[in-house]
């Protein structure tokens, strides 16, 4: 007997970005992290100094990006590392992840991205950046590249509320985010947003309501994260001084929460990730008993199955983009 299929075409209870990518591009795309020496306007004084309160780029920089001088060397080392761990993908894409990877003059960006794209094993780029670090020129250039390569832009949304963005010292507003998402999508580029749950000042209802806000935007995918407090960040200092200000998620609470969030989420927007996973050595709290993100992810899916719920179950279609 045929199993029931959800609107995104498979049996999973949410629109998994990995399946969307396979469907659209004919196979899995494996990201290879590349550290091209970018900084960020929120750290060099242009927008602010010291960065967002939770920023600790070390915690997500793979070891193969450290101490390797050139981009090609990092890609070679990264592919070797990934080949040992994962099944062969259809494509590899250079993942410019650390800091703000469009924050250089266009001439330099052209040269950095071209070095990566010249690598014989690469078929594209994934560029992570801030919403206030994209403009017409850089997006036009990326759109030009996307005629021949896979090009995806990851934008840090973090919160849809300006009060929160101010509190975390992001140095941009939610209007900047909407503008960047719309400008990226208008050019046919893949656009993924990154969102954080558990920031001080936001109630659980505030966090949930972001599903309605984001559902109206032309995003291809979302990466959802629970707030983890990392060592050597401003947030860690604030947490250790005033823990009562924080209402961090327990694992059980988060599973419950994320399912409610997914129920409200537009089923057309795929989900790339639902849980954060920082290396324990960098983490202050919450540790969730060292449960790996994959384990929590499976648990979320099994609870969705038990509850007979799915992404978009409570989604009310809205006609207009913001």
Q: Which residues bind ligand SF4 (CB under 6 A)?
A: 40, 42-43, 51-52, 55, 57, 99-100, 130, 156
Q: What's the min distance (Å) between Cβ of 168 and ligand SF4? A: 8
Residue written as tokens 């929160």? Answer: 164
H-state helical runs in the chain: 17-25, 71-85, 106-118, 136-145, 162-167, 174-186, 204-215, 234-241, 251-264, 293-307
Minimum CB distance to ligand SF4 smaller for 31 or for 130: 130
Q: What's the min distance (Å) between Cβ of 89 and ligand SF4? A: 27
DSSP 44: B
Minimum CB distance to ligand SF4 smaller for 94 or for 157: 157
Q: Specify whether the CB–CB gap between 277 and 292 falls below 8 A.
A: yes
Q: What's the min distance (Å) between Cβ of 3 and ligand SF4? A: 41
Minimum CB distance to ligand SF4 smaller for 5 or for 66: 66
Q: Specify whether the CB–CB gap between 34 and 98 falls below 8 A.
A: no
Minimum CB distance to ligand SF4 smaller for 31 or for 172: 172
Cα distances (Å, whole numbers) of residue 48 to 42, 52, 242: 4, 9, 24
Q: What's the min distance (Å) between Cβ of 158 and ligand SF4? A: 8
Q: What's the min distance (Å) between Cβ of 219 and ligand SF4? A: 19
Count the alpha carbons within 13 Å of 256 in the hemisphere toward its beta carbon. Answer: 7
Angstrom distance (rounded) from CA 130 to CA 134: 7
Minimum CB distance to ligand SF4 smaller for 58 or for 114: 58
Cis peptide leading into residue 121 (ω within 30°)? no
CA angle 88, 38, 53 (to 5 degrees): 100
Minimum CB distance to ligand SF4 smaller for 97 or for 266: 97
Which residue, judged by CB position, is nearest to ligand SF4 in the bound state? 51
Q: What's the min distance (Å) between Cβ of 43 and ligand SF4? A: 5
Q: Specify whether the CB–CB gap between 28 and 20 falls below 8 A.
A: no
């Amino acid at each position: 007997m045929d199993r029931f299929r959800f609107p995104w075409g498979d049996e999973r209870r949410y629109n998994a970005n990995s399946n969307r990518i396979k469907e659209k591009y004919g196979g899995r795309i494996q990201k290879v992290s590349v550290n091209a020496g970018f900084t960020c306007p929120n750290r060099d004084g242009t927008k602010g100094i010291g960065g967002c309160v939770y920023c600790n780029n070390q915690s997500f920089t793979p070891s193969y990006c450290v101490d390797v001088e050139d981009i090609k060397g990092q890609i070679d080392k990264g592919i070797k590392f990934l080949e040992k761990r994962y099944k062969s993908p259809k494509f590899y894409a250079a993942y410019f992840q650390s800091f703000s990877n469009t924050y250089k003059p266009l001439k330099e960006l052209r040269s950095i991205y071209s070095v990566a794209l010249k690598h014989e094993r690469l078929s594209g780029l994934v560029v992570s950046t801030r919403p206030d670090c994209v403009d017409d020129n850089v997006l036009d250039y990326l759109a030009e590249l996307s005629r021949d390569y896979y090009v995806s832009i990851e934008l840090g949304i973090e919160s849809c509320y300006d009060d929160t963005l101010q509190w975390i010292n992001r140095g941009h507003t939610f209007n900047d985010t909407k503008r960047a998402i719309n400008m990226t999508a208008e050019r046919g580029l893949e656009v993924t947003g990154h969102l954080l749950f558990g920031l001080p000042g936001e109630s659980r209802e505030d966090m949930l309501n972001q599903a309605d806000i984001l559902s109206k935007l032309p995003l291809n995918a979302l990466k959802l994260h629970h707030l983890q407090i990392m060592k050597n960040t401003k947030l860690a200092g604030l947490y250790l001084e005033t823990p009562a200000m924080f209402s961090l998620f327990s694992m059980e609470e988060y599973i419950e929460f994320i399912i409610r969030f997914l129920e409200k989420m537009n089923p057309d927007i795929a989900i790339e990730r639902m849980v954060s996973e920082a290396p324990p050595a960098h983490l202050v709290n919450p540790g969730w008993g060292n449960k790996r993100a994959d384990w929590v992810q499976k648990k979320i899916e099994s609870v969705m199955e038990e509850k007979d719920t799915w992404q978009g179950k409570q989604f009310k279609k809205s006609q207009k983009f913001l």
